[in-house]
Structure 1
């Protein structure tokens, strides 16, 4: 080992505290990069394998009623590989002890063969027998939420008739990874079920003997999906087709894709911030080390080492810290990614897991971390190259104390001697103080942004369920009813107010952009559910125009005044040309709103509603629930508190759970930055502090000289960090937001206070650690250091 390499090891041991703190910051950045990359790759690969193994369809074509012979014509479309017809329908499950019926989707299984498309994974029991018409399989998540096992009996209402069915198996399926009731966005295993029955049973229940109401198609890789969709629609239109759509528009797949996209956005935006902070810290540490070791650099060069060899020595120091942090980050990233994938396995109901790491993430994380650290180090190495042995072996020129400003001198005259030392240190080296302030401000900025995200998630839930939706429950009907039915709902004992709504499925297009969603028709002066602007004021819906939510306007790239082409997928399926009349603020989903009367006129069905929002007396809620349960026109009832709890759980388990990790990471980084600032200041002033001890200063006074500087720097950094965190919160909020939910960048006053307390706590702990070193330092060794 060369002498310089031995010196490198000694230097690393001497600054082990600082090196560990900087390495931890780098490790955190690489950890997030590797963890997010592995998580995204694993979810994507598990989804792909699940879809392939159980043959998930590429195209879904719902229809009112189509004869079985039409399947042969669908199979003859160029590019179509496989066609399967099936029966689906809405159902209600009545469980003992529950006043509200739970919604379900009934799905047929072939009588004589396994499904060629959209197969299921049998997790318990067996499939329904062809001979037993009362046997069903139940979605595993719903069964577990209610403690149902094979052998249990279900009371199910289908097409207005009640059936007693026996559970013989529990199943999972790729098309039901994320299950939501019609008209809802939040998945809740306890409130929505899927029932599999043989075709003969469902055909009898829904009066579809010899017919199907949904066609499933798989297509070739080189086929043209849009051409096939158009051909399918042409064949099914005479039979009441609702519009075929591809897998990308399937509800379950869309939610998973959004979750992966959110993870990808977070993974690409946040880790570079941590790596940039680490590079800045390395620059400060190494630059001050070079300044402190001027004499050693001069001696090294005097003994014949070249500029390149000397510079390479300090560059190795940078690489050792950066590489060590990157390696630790890679290992921890694997563990963290594996743990989070298990969470998503439960969240999205995958029956198996393919954990797969992305090799490129290790290379990227290692390269980026070392590259970022090296970039700051190269700036320092220029000083090493410029130093000649003669100039390096001379101590730097002492600071000129008389250059202090008049204000600084007047302040010092009112201070005691230790305080004057602190002021002189701050005023005579403003560059170093600015660097320390910037580092601590960066740490606080991260903390402020993370606290803002925590508040943003809570704000999204509060505004959605307390401002936009002021009802207690919503009712969905089997088919659109006359608006006069609203009076029947108002007459139910315990109902205090009711508001009608009509929701229709539609494809919205503007230019080349399209979105498969829904239009909500709201009455004038909506009270219980309304469209709101940025200030949360009610938007009065105009006649003949449409109001788009901000996320939907971004998807379509549409502005006020643009004319949308809307292909309605229900009723008579008209195609409408509607101008955009305004933009609404929403934090959940991407809705579109129209005036209820205008929407009904456009559909050619005046005075119709598909559901209602109710506000009820909590003392009579059981009466309201039982009355709604006995109404044959009611397809489902959704309680707002259940939807709110489902959203909260989803935000805590999905990509939103990352905010807790980010908050912990921000705290670690903040401590690392503050601790580094304290250690660097101590390393620079070790001899000065030892001298003060010799001339009679007490240990407390010596510590005050150093820690007073840290206290002033920390306090000055707090407002700067607050401003940085405010702007950083917008970038982080955008990374967490998806089409499913939008997180506002909102940092409450308490958030700034919490971040400031975290920085002050980190400063106090760092100060205590440094003071402990001061108290245990060897005064003689410190005084032997050459000035």
Structure 2
């Protein structure tokens, strides 16, 4: 009964603490549950649709090689395919789109399709195809729809028989694109015979997927596979971890794991502080009752169980609220992921493990916060416990020098004395409030960082309007053909070769990009963001790649070319470039062509367009047989902004809510405890003639002091929080710069102050309702 009375009397403070606990539980359930959902869905999807373990490409390899590939130790199955990029001519879309044409997997083959609607193509009909779900939705395609595709220099009309998804393209990214754009890039699966006839590949393949035996070494298999495919233009095998779709999905899981490790401890730490503050005041007020109970025979463990039960009741409410909120947000997150990742279904995990972990951690934090308060009174002898605590003795600040020299008002002196009298409680209030500010700083920084990424990537480094990639390397004369196309103001050549860079035991397979000195539609930027030219001798590595290889300017790296006659050589690292997206290496174009031994050839051109004639350029590209893929920077940027804006809006909304809960819970509990401790003093001031506003100003002064002192500490902790998030988010695919401007700190403080003001106004109502006679008679 006493437990229920305590909860009813302190319901507002208990609810504030429970809300903070609920925030911690919700974020833990959300983070761990989202990771569990994605991993379970991914693994089940991969297994059901037989996602391959190793992938490799070649220029043209005979199918007679497949038995030899399958004989590699550890290989269970090898499937040769044809993969080709084709240009699209879709109604209502002026700019050219691209379609990745892939051989239709067999019923028991690798990377099997999951049909969403329709049927698979009939091998007897060369014009039938199944298209990817995102692409079909963007163009309202369905069974029976038709589309024009430029295949091997000839425009052909394909008829859609079905819509499907594949484990190989959970995250469908076009070549050279930074964000998925299903309107301009899709996948189409055709019978192998149809592609072989269209591209003259009868009895040959240019892509192979392998399934490995459990425990087989992917590195050993890839080394053997490269040796077999080398005479046929093999460009280096990659394992599943480096497959584009899987790599992006894995990066998302890494981010979620990082957030589930960083954010929940903040809320649970605040909850422990609040429990300690509230329970400490409660046991102090009930000191005489505790002594009386002990005199009647109740032992210290019985007393401790009562107050621990009080805390556990609050924790139970917080856990239940957190479970509900975490599950609700998790369902919303699952729906959001469905828009970015093509899974057959994605249901937020109902696995009890995240819920149990959240509950155990929350209970542990709550009990940890209660231990000190309970220990102070539960083991006191009855006579000591029944004695009232010694009255508070306040001392003049610095011997009264502060009041005399600074002419501080007496009310200000009262505020300072009360805060300094309980330094630990004051410090816990400051720390709790600073954590509310820190949560906001640790989330709002992302806006400035995204703008920094956009400015450096799209405005200062990549300045072309379009990047036209050829289906295969072309002579330098192709550059002049592009320059003669309508709307082209400027065109600069580029050569991209697949290489493996290594330094000691570290190695990475990357694209080696060759550009001419003096061209500036695409520029290298050094770590001070200054333009730098491709070196005549040596290679420039992106900062992320240099870190992964453990090299600095002046070191030498081994370069193994994975195409052509597959030469190997060593080169000095002449510089490190700044970049946030992917791993890259740059070299002078003449040097690259010389090393490849193929003469002056290019794989694409960067183009600056006349905006008034952009549609003419797009029409000309659609009629160019050699064109393979066109990346349009303004479309990529638009898609990037749309995606980031949506994600950031959701993220900031969640963090604003969570930070407001922390600020409210900390300030409300601090104010209620202060009111409880100073009830007699405040009532005495009212009797002496002080107005309600003047009395409230004393309590508000304490709150304001705590809130203001917490701001710089919150900024500092928030900066550390942002650094931890940046480290958790960074991967080989992209790095996030840490950019925190003064506006971030200002907005974080304003939101925290607003939440503090709301909680203070609630306490003001209690001050106004004080019954002076009753207050002077009772403890509160």
State the TM-score, normalizing by the size of structure 2: 0.93
Kindly indicate whether residue 153 of structure 2 is the aligned counterpart of residue 177 of structure 1. no
Tell me the distance in 2 between the aligned counterparts of 1:109 and 1:428: 77
Aligned residue in 2 for 1:395:
389
Distance (whole Å) between structure 1 residues aligned to residue 696 and residue 245 of structure 2: 61
1:95 alignment partner in structure 2: 90
**Distance (whole Å) between structure 2 residues aligned to residue 689 and residue 516 of structure 1:** 72
| Contact preservation (8 Å) 2:75, 2:212 | yes
Query: Does structure 2 retain, via aligned residues, the 8 Å contact 1:26–1:278?
Result: yes
Q: Does 1:78 align with 2:73?
A: yes
Question: Of residues 196, 203, 222 in structure 2, which corresponds to 1:203?
Answer: 196
CA drift of 1:525 comes to 4.1
Cα offset, 1:351, TM superposition: 1.7
1:576 and 2:569 matched: yes
Inter-partner Cα distance in structure 2 for 1:677 and 1:495? 67
Distance in structure 1 (CA, Å) of the matches to 2:265 and 2:33: 17
1:447–1:755 contact (8 Å) kept in structure 2? yes
1:335-734 mapped onto 2 (5 Å cutoff):
335-353=328-346, 355-385=348-378, 387-392=380-385, 393-410=387-404, 413=407, 415=409, 418-483=411-476, 485-492=478-485, 494-651=487-644, 658=651, 660-734=653-727
For the residues of structure 2 that align with 1:564 and 1:664, how far apart are their CA atoms? 50
* Aligned residues of 1:534 and 1:584 also touching (Cα < 8 A): yes
The answer (yes or no) to whether the contact 1:471–1:615 under 8 Å persists in 2 is: yes
Asked whether the equivalents of residues 468 and 532 of structure 1 are also in contact (C-alpha less than 8 Å), the reply is: yes
The range that moved more, 331-340 or 758-767, is 331-340
Aligned partner of residue 100 in structure 1, secondary structure:
coil
Do 1:477 and 1:636's aligned partners in 2 also have CA atoms closer than 8 Å?
yes
In 1, Cα distance between equivalents of 2:302 and 2:402: 44
What secondary structure, in the 3-state scheme, does the structure 2 residue paired with 1:611 have? Answer: strand
Pair 1:218-2:243 in alignment: no
Secondary structure of the corresponding residue to residue 29 of structure 2: helix
Of 268, 279, 302, which aligns to 2:261?
268
Further displaced range: 87-96 or 532-541: 532-541
1:603 to 1:220, Cα distance in 2 relative to 1, 3 A = same
Q: Distance in 1 between matches of 2:393 and 2:518?
A: 73
Find the partner of 2:9 among 3, 6, 14: 14
Match of 1:24 in 2: 19
Q: Which moved more, 1:420-429 or 1:85-94?
A: 420-429
Q: Could you list the structure 1 runs, at least 4 aligned residues long, displaced by more than 6 angstroms after superposition.
A: 653-656
| Contact map agreement 1:270 1:732 (CA 8 A) in 2 | no
1:765 deviation in Å?
Answer: 0.7
**Structure 1 CA distance for aligned equivalents of residues 344 and 235 of structure 2:** 31
- Correspondent of 2:42 among 47, 50, 72: 47
* Offset, 1:425: 3.0
Q: 2: CA distance between counterparts of 1:190 and 1:666? A: 38
Instruction: Show CA shifts across 1:559-594 (max 9, x none).
Output: 444433333223332233233333322222222222
Secondary structure in 2 aligned to 1:567? strand
CA pair 400-119 structure 1, distance change in 2 beyond 3 A? closer
Report the 3-state secondary structure (helix = DSSP H, G, I; strand = E; otherwise coil) of the residue aligned with 1:341: helix
Q: 1-side partners of 2:779 and 2:643: how far apart?
A: 62
CA positional deviation for 1:488: 4.5
Equivalent residue in structure 2 for 1:64, among 42, 59, 74: 59
Aligned position for 1:306: 299
Q: What is the DSSP-based 3-state SS (H/G/I as helix, E as strand, rest coil) of the residue aligned with 2:524?
A: coil
Match among 262, 266, 277 for residue 284 of structure 1? 277
Q: CA deviation digits over 1:721-752, x for unaligned, max 9? A: 22222232211222233333322222211111
| Number of corresponding residues | 779
CA contact (8 A) 1:109 1:115 kept: no
Q: Deviations over 1:296-347 (max 9, x none)?
A: 3333333333333333333333333234323332333233223312321232
Cα distance, 1:34–1:66 mapped onto 2, change above 3 Å: same
Local SS of the residue matching 1:136:
strand
2:225 is aligned with 1:232? yes
Distance 1:78 1:771, change over 3 A: same
- Quote how far apart the aligned CAs of 1:221 are: 0.8
Q: Could you tell me which runs of 5 or more consecutive residues in structure 1 were left unpaired when the two chains were aligned.
A: 1-5
Contact 2:464 2:608 in 1 (8 A): yes
Q: Deviations over 1:668-689 (max 9, x none)?
A: 2223222222222222222322
Q: Distance in 1 between matches of 2:564 and 2:771?
A: 88
For the 8 Å contact 1:450–1:666, the answer to whether it is kept is no
Summarize the alignment of residues 772-787 of structure 1 with structure 2, pairs less than 5 Å apart.
772-786=765-779
Measure how far apart 1:649 and its partner are. 4.1
1:327 aligns with 2:337: no
Distance (Å, rounded) in 2 between the aligned partners of 1:20 and 1:453: 32
SS of the residue aligned with 2:605?
strand
Deviates more, 1:255-264 or 1:717-726: 717-726
SS at match of 1:401: coil
Kept after mapping to 2: 8 A contact 1:451/1:663:
no
State the SS of the aligned residue for 2:525.
Answer: coil
Q: Match of 1:3?
A: none
* 1:35–1:333 Cα contact (<8 Å) kept: yes
Report the Cα distance in structure 2 between the residues aligned to 1:667 and 1:496, rounded to whole angstroms: 53
Alignment partners' CA distance in 2, 1:762 and 1:407 = 36
Structure 1 residues 301-310 or 88-97, which shifts more?
301-310
SS of corresponding position for 1:378: helix
- Write the distance in 2 (CA, Å) between the matches of 1:56 and 1:591: 27
Tell me, in whole angstroms, the C-alpha distance in 2 between the residues paired with 1:683 and 1:519: 70
Distance 1:556 1:281, change over 3 A: farther
Give the distance between the partners of 1:566 and 1:653, measured in 2 at CA: 41
| Aligned partner of residue 196 in structure 1, secondary structure | strand
Change (3 A) 1:108 1:166: same
Change (3 A) 1:578 1:285: farther
Aligned counterparts of 2:648 and 2:747: Cα–Cα separation in 1: 23
Q: Which piece of structure 1 moves more, 671-680 or 351-360?
A: 351-360
Which runs of no fewer than 5 residues in structure 2 stay unpaired?
none
Contact 2:514 2:587 in 1 (8 A): yes
- TM-score normalised by structure 1 residue count: 0.93
Q: How far 1:89 moved relative to its partner?
A: 1.0
Kindly indicate whether the alpha-carbon contact (under 8 Å) linking 2:671 and 2:763 is maintained by their aligned counterparts in 1. yes
Paired position in structure 1 for 2:103: 108
Query: Which shifted more, 173-182 or 741-750?
Result: 741-750
Contact 1:39 1:338 in 2 (8 A): no
CA shift digits 1:384-430 (9 cap, x unpaired): 25644444422323223335444531377453x54553344345554
The CA distance in 2 between the partners of 1:664 and 1:458, in whole Å, is 24
The reply to whether residue 34 of structure 1 matches residue 29 of structure 2 is yes
CA 1:422–1:402 in 2, change beyond 3 Å: closer, same or farther? closer
Q: Which segment drifts farther, 777-786 or 468-477?
A: 777-786
Shift of 1:754: 0.7
